Structure 1
């Protein structure tokens, strides 16, 4: 089904239940449903065609939810804008997917104006929270809808091959690729989440991670189960802890780095977390010791899932029951597992020749099933490569034990996960190499207590050159954003090479990762 179909089911079942609490803003399912009809009507009245890409650029804020649902009701393709990226990178991506409209928050008005100027396909701008620079507010825009009821665009099988979203994901080289998220794969993901995270009574989901990242699909799954969604504008450890107690939160998603901040907070034991049934960690591996500590503090609610943009979020599942048992000493190694394959997919390990490997051997994690997306937007070669040998290739290297639990041990693709965000080293290396003072550069991830992995540059200076770490870091921040910028720079005499002349990053990582048993954190 379409996302809006899942929402409409719950609006019919629970019309008077709160669907959104965001600061002073509160809407019921019935009220939100009415807003989405007006957003959809206004979009179509403005000239939007079916399956046009519409970008939403905003911090977590109440209008974001009505805008997203309204876009889906109108048959639009959601394009989330990661505001942590450098503006140039976002402009390049929006040009590539030929976005036609931008719905933005006033805090990003300057960036939105630059996008409008540089992306030729943009024909309409709407400011979500207030009139801005000649652009209407969302409220004013909704007033242009010709009717309070928008016609149903669904078909008998839920428009399975239409796109829900075009979500950017980096490549090992070159610019970001647009993952074609289909109604069929997104719907399978929503249903899988609803089935593995059930609760009796009224679910309450806390959204504090960016809705433009993994919190977006988790929030849509919460709506599909009839939840009240409590939105916080940004992550603040104590604000999250207070919200859990105040709103009796049952479901919450955060990346492990945010969990670590909560564990370190001096007031972490001062709040009541007994309502929590699922504290989901995803986006990067979690420290086993930190996970055990979290069970002690937050109770038997800690859980993890593994997936990626192309293989939506819940390829594997480590349940609260398994985590709690592991914390007590029952198969304690499972604290570092990403879980078992969910019932909507097959997950296997594969060697470089396309052979499925037996239990105990290490290989690339591959999968097939309902949560696999539709390849990359207008990139047929990359799409074909991702499904070689009849399986979706994750680029992650792992192993499986005799009980069916998977463990990620490395990354086949040259990628670093820092704070739940993917950083592709080739892009950072290319940026550093723009400096004339740099002869060679290798970017690696090294373990970090807060971020999981820290982007680190190994640099060989050009002969006679004088360059310091501050200059390199500042250059990368300005070019491609602070998330991708190295946090440390190590100057070395030469970069080690493999027998075929490639950078030997395994050797570079060894001093940092030695003895840990895995090369991710």
Structure 2
């Protein structure tokens, strides 16, 4: 099942139904299909062949997201580009992924102009929203192009390639297939409450988790409301006015939402499912969200290599049968998803007894085809016949959970820094609540009382604010670089 089939499924349930909405503008399923057909024909006219790569560099935008389905209809492969990347990193990714075409927004024309000369393989540059000093506009590109249905057989089952950051060296390209997305979509629909015609609000970038979640929504004929900028006032207003049923935010933005002055007066009664994920969430803040936002919080745990749904915790699983909060579960990652087998594995490939430590490994059709042009890394992550997820990273989350119970701490990040004695020392970087004051010794004692002295921070830093991505995720790599550089 290719990506275009999700749009087609939604259209089969009502071609005039709203599909992609932003502000006062809406594309119906029929509109989005015509756009996809035109983009597919324009790609073919530009010499893009089945199996070739087409990158999109854009903030959340209905037209840009419609182009994803045109890429699929042309039998090509979608390569979403991370907006946070520096120019050199984007140039390297476009070259590494062998991209033949780049579709971008005008706001990025300076970046595109900067890197285009070093990308001879990128023969077509298209700006979706106006004149640009480099490439052609979307309107120019589509002049005379028919919107009649088009069907081009893909080269194989590859649907998209996602760049994933590594701790060292060049980021890897995660090759995701139609089978992967076709596994993720029913997991989503089975694991969470859905009524007909859901309304999904996308504030986080559609290049990542928020975008992949659109496909099961489309399979239900639902509407996708797109916010161009990550503004929480607009987010709350959209939930109320658009009667949003489903949405997703990372924990840091949920923390900000809980402090937002508009929250108490916003009608959130339409919400059926409020997903959180991409980072561990404070159990204390989660319980607060369940009270102030509603009994709709739903966790998802996944990664680019196994998108979104390795394990899930549906809204109902946050409560015990008697209706009380299941406090003991709030720090967990839920239960294995219906189409995923999860185990814990030691370094020799054995499955240790219950209670023993190891790495989270999985088996599922959810698992990627591999890393693009990197068979060594593919083999390493798939040794012993299981997919390795990097589950040892949970240890920092355990310390962060303890820190977030402190009433004076607004947010935190726990990292490891080089240490002659310990190899790495636990380092906590804290952002305090306005007007709060706490000492390093008090922080250490607080954590020690909850998770023990070994995990208590050896170094405590107090920062006015923590560096965050455009969607509010704390950037630990930036924190570590600042400390080591300073």
Counterpart residue number, 2:436: none
Deviation at 1:212, TM superposition (A): 1.3
Structure 2 CA distance for partners of 1:443 and 1:377, relative to 1, 3 Å: farther
Does residue 136 in structure 1 map to residue 136 in structure 2?
yes
Does residue 251 in structure 1 map to residue 251 in structure 2?
no
- 1 CA distance for matches of 2:346 and 2:319? 33
Deviation at 1:122, TM superposition (A): 0.8
Deviation at 1:199, TM superposition (A): 2.1
Indicate which of 379, 382, 386 corresponds to 2:377: 382
- 1 CA distance for matches of 2:483 and 2:94? 35
Q: TM-score, normalised by structure 1?
A: 0.77
Counterpart residue number, 1:417: none
Q: After the TM superposition, which residues 27-106 of structure 1 pair with which residues of structure 2 at under 5 Å, given as runs?
A: 27-106=27-106
**1:102-145: CA deviation from partner (whole Å, max 9, x where unpaired):** 10000101011122112221111000111212522223322242
Deviation at 1:196, TM superposition (A): 2.1
- 1 CA distance for matches of 2:425 and 2:100? 36
- 2 CA distance for matches of 1:378 and 1:25? 41
Deviation at 1:447, TM superposition (A): 5.6
- 1 CA distance for matches of 2:106 and 2:243? 31
Structure 2 CA distance for partners of 1:94 and 1:243, relative to 1, 3 Å: same
Counterpart residue number, 2:174: 179
- 1 CA distance for matches of 2:427 and 2:241? 38
Counterpart residue number, 2:203: 208
Query: Equivalent residue of 1:40, what SS?
Result: helix
Q: After the TM superposition, which residues 475-490 of structure 1 pair with which residues of structure 2 at under 5 Å, given as runs?
A: 484-486=477-479
Query: Equivalent residue of 1:199, what SS?
Result: coil
- 2 CA distance for matches of 1:492 and 1:308? 29
Counterpart residue number, 1:277: 272
Counterpart residue number, 2:226: 231
Counterpart residue number, 1:405: none
- 1 CA distance for matches of 2:8 and 2:186? 15
Q: Is the 8 A contact 1:302 1:324 kept in 2?
A: no
Query: Equivalent residue of 2:236, what SS?
Result: helix
Deviation at 1:483, TM superposition (A): 7.7
Structure 2 CA distance for partners of 1:207 and 1:238, relative to 1, 3 Å: same
- 2 CA distance for matches of 1:69 and 1:286? 33
Deviation at 1:325, TM superposition (A): 3.9
Q: Is the 8 A contact 1:19 1:27 kept in 2?
A: yes
Unaligned runs of 5+ in 2: 398-412, 433-457, 468-474
Query: Equivalent residue of 1:397, what SS?
Result: helix
Query: Equivalent residue of 1:30, what SS?
Result: helix
Q: Is the 8 A contact 2:196 2:222 kept in 1?
A: no
Q: Is the 8 A contact 1:6 1:223 kept in 2?
A: yes
- 2 CA distance for matches of 1:133 and 1:302? 45
Structure 2 CA distance for partners of 1:68 and 1:443, relative to 1, 3 Å: farther
- 1 CA distance for matches of 2:45 and 2:121? 18
Unaligned runs of 5+ in 1: 399-407, 412-422, 430-440, 451-457, 460-469, 475-481, 494-521
**1:205-224: CA deviation from partner (whole Å, max 9, x where unpaired):** 00010111211101222222
Deviation at 1:172, TM superposition (A): 3.2
Does residue 261 in structure 1 map to residue 260 in structure 2?
no
Structure 2 CA distance for partners of 1:448 and 1:101, relative to 1, 3 Å: farther
Does residue 369 in structure 1 map to residue 351 in structure 2?
no
Deviation at 1:375, TM superposition (A): 0.9
Query: Equivalent residue of 2:367, what SS?
Result: coil
Counterpart residue number, 2:20: 20
- 1 CA distance for matches of 2:253 and 2:352? 35
Structure 2 CA distance for partners of 1:83 and 1:491, relative to 1, 3 Å: closer
Counterpart residue number, 1:7: 7
Q: Is the 8 A contact 2:37 2:73 kept in 1?
A: yes
- 2 CA distance for matches of 1:326 and 1:89? 50
Deviation at 1:492, TM superposition (A): 12
- 2 CA distance for matches of 1:216 and 1:53? 18
Q: Is the 8 A contact 1:165 1:182 kept in 2?
A: yes
CA RMSD in angstroms, aligned pairs only:
3.2
- 1 CA distance for matches of 2:119 and 2:313? 42
Query: Equivalent residue of 1:485, what SS?
Result: helix
Q: Is the 8 A contact 1:250 1:277 kept in 2?
A: yes
Q: Is the 8 A contact 2:197 2:220 kept in 1?
A: no
Q: Is the 8 A contact 2:109 2:134 kept in 1?
A: no
**1:183-219: CA deviation from partner (whole Å, max 9, x where unpaired):** 1112211222122234223200000101112111012
- 2 CA distance for matches of 1:324 and 1:104? 44
